[in-house]
């Protein structure tokens, strides 16, 4: 759930990780001070903490990115937030989506799956992948774009109630 909230306010995966790490520390700190126990309803407060931390982090760290990147990111994030009701926790079915995505990746042809594993699992860049395949980087970029569209369609099939973003 926290992951779903964080990625709607920060544009990059590494920033999402930073947000989650900080929110957990904030949460444990607050739990000690307020003497919460395992019956405490943590959902709403975690939701709020994540959103606040994410907004704060992007405000502080946006200078690390180029102005052009910032402009695209702000447009993407605005579009993302418009389509999302953060009070409706039923929509934040992150684990269902991630499980569906995992299964969809597993069902891809081996070549496509390997591309994804190299890039997202091992951090091999698009340029390096293009060199390995003797292809142009833009061709590989198009492949990744098509794969993402394919995975989105596959997830929709696996989760019938998956909302259209």
Partner 1 sequence: MIDQSFPNEQEIARSGELTQLFFERSVTSEEKDELLDLWSRYPVLKTNSIEEYEIEQDLHFLGNGSRSLLRYHTEAEHYFSSQVAEREATRQAKQHENGLKKNVAAKTSAKKNKKSLPFGLLVSVIGILFIIGIYSEFRQPRPKETIRETSKGFASVRSTIDVQWNDDASIFKPNSRLDKDRLVLKSGVVEIELDNGSRLVLEGPADFQLDDIQKAFCHQGRISATITPEGSGFVVDTPFFSVRDIGTEFVLDVSEDKAEVHVISGQVETNRLASDWIPLPQDRGLSFDRMGESQKIVADRRLFMSSKVLADKTKVHQERQREFKNEFERKLTGDNSLQLWIDFSDEERSIFSNRATAAKNNVSVRSFGTASPIDSNTGTKAIEFRRTSDRIEINGLEKCRSMTLIVRAKLKHLQHASNVLLASRDYEETSGGFLWQIDRFGRMQFHVRRPGDQSADTFDSPPCILGKDLNTWTVFALVLDFESETLIHYIDGRVAASFPFDAMDELHLDRLLLGNLPAMRKNDTARFFPGLYDKLLIFSRALSETEITEFSDDRAGKR
Residues in the site for partner 1, rule: CB under 8 A? Answer: 2-3, 7, 11-13, 16-17, 20-21, 24-25, 27-29, 31-32, 36-38, 65-66, 68-69, 71-73, 75-76, 79-80, 83, 97-98, 101-102, 105-106, 110, 113, 116-117, 119-121, 123, 125-126, 138, 141-142, 144-146, 148-149, 151-152, 165
* 33 CA to centre of own chain: 31
With a CB cutoff of 8 Å and minimum separation 6, the contacts of 23 are 2, 6, 46, 49, 50, 53
Which H, E and C letters describe 54-102, residue by residue? Answer: HHHHHHHHHHHCCHHHHHHHHHHHHHHHHCCCCCCHHHCCHHHHHHHHH
Q: Which is nearer to partner 1, 135 or 149 (CB)?
A: 149
Q: Judged by CB, which is closer to partner 1: 52, or 70?
A: 70
Distance CA 119, CA 125 (A): 6
**CB of 52 or CB of 152, closer to partner 1:** 152
CB 83, min distance to partner 1, A: 7
Minimum CB distance to partner 1, residue 116 (Å): 7
CB 4 within 8 A of CB 49: no
Gap between the Cα atoms of 165 and 156, Å rounded: 11
CB of 90 to partner 1, least distance (A): 17
Q: Considering the complex, state which of residue 29 and residue 157 has its C-beta at the smaller distance from partner 1.
A: 29
Measured from the CB atom, the residue of 3 and 55 that comes closer to partner 1 is: 3
């Amino acid at each position: 759930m926290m992951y779903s909230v964080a990625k709607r306010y920060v544009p990059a995966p590494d920033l999402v990780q930073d947000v989650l790490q900080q929110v957990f520390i904030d949460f444990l700190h607050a739990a000690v001070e307020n003497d919460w126990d395992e019956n405490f309803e943590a959902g709403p407060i975690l939701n709020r903490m994540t959103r606040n931390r994410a907004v704060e982090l992007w405000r502080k760290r946006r200078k690390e990115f180029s102005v052009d990147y910032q402009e695209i990111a702000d447009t993407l994030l605005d579009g993302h937030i418009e389509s999302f009701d953060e009070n409706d926790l039923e929509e934040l079915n992150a684990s269902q989506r991630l499980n569906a995505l995992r299964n969809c990746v597993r069902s891809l042809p081996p070549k496509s799956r390997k591309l994804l594993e190299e890039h997202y699992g091992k951090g091999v860049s698009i340029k390096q992948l293009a060199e390995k395949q003797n292809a142009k980087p833009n061709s590989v970029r198009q492949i990744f774009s098509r794969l993402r569209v394919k995975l989105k369609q596959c997830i929709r099939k696996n989760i019938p109630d998956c909302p259209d973003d």
